[in-house]
Amino acid sequence: MANAGPSVYKACAACKHQRKKYDQNCTLAKYFPAEKSNDYENVYHLFGMQNTLKILKLVDEDERGTAIESIIMEVRMRLEYPVHDHFSVARKLSLEIRCMATFRWRESLVSRLKRRRKSMKLSARKFPYVKERIIGPARRPVEGSLINRSNILPTAHILCFCQLS
């Protein structure tokens, strides 16, 4: 004969917080099991249970898990970044994206300039007389001139320095 005794269920985080016995009709049981009591308490203190239940009623049944995950994520952001919460994270990610785009643009520009420089060297080898006519004879820079002392990169105006906090 099978065990006819009552099954023992562990109370969910919501029932545990309210010091109630496990209720099979608890709407929060599948979203806040006993292991997630810390998440439940944070949601409870930030949003309140009535507001959380209202949000769950507004959302379709199949999207409620995603809604609870979103609420928990917002609570965690507010705990981690109390002043600007998730906006500071979004701002930081936006800055990283812009810097990466600038970096890619700069890399493509440098590669194009290198290709152009290489093709110019090849054409100068094929037609050395053209170089002499356009530029003039090759001269060595004068010692102590400003050109010899400069540390300025020729493409310094296109560099992007991003400081990420």
Structure tokens at 86: 């998730």
Do 59 and 103 belong to one domain? no
More confident residue, 28 or 41: 41
**What is the model's pTM?**
0.50
Structure tokens at 2: 């099978």
Check residue 135 and give its pLDDT.
Answer: 55
**Cα(160)–Cα(164) distance, integer angstroms:** 12
Does 35 reside within a domain?
Answer: yes
Choose the weakest-confidence range: 31-35, 87-91, 128-132.
128-132
> Domain ends where: 59, 80, 101?
80
Residue 161 domain boundaries: 86-136+154-165
> Domain ends where: 60, 80, 100?
80
The DSSP symbol for 37 reads: H
Mean per-residue pLDDT, 106-112:
91
Average confidence score pLDDT of the chain: 74
127-151 confidence digits (pLDDT tens): 655 555 555 555 565 555 555 444 4
The continuous run of DSSP H or E covering 146 comes out as helix 146-149
The secondary structure of the chain in percent helix, strand, coil, rounded to multiples of 5, reads 65, 0, 35
In this structure, the number of other CB atoms found within 10 A of the CB of residue 164 comes to 8
> Domain ends where: 80, 95, 117?
80
Do 72 and 116 belong to one domain? no
Mean per-residue pLDDT, 51-69:
89
If one counts the domains in the chain, the total is 2
Q: Which of 111, 33, 98, 89 is nearest to 65 (CA)?
A: 33
Mean per-residue pLDDT, 85-109:
90
Do 165 and 102 belong to one domain? yes
Mean per-residue pLDDT, 106-116:
89
Choose the weakest-confidence range: 15-19, 51-55, 64-68, 129-133.
129-133
pLDDT > 70 fraction of the chain, expressed in percent and rounded: 67
Given pLDDT bands bounded at 50, 70 and 90, which one contains residue 94? very high
Do 50 and 102 belong to one domain? no
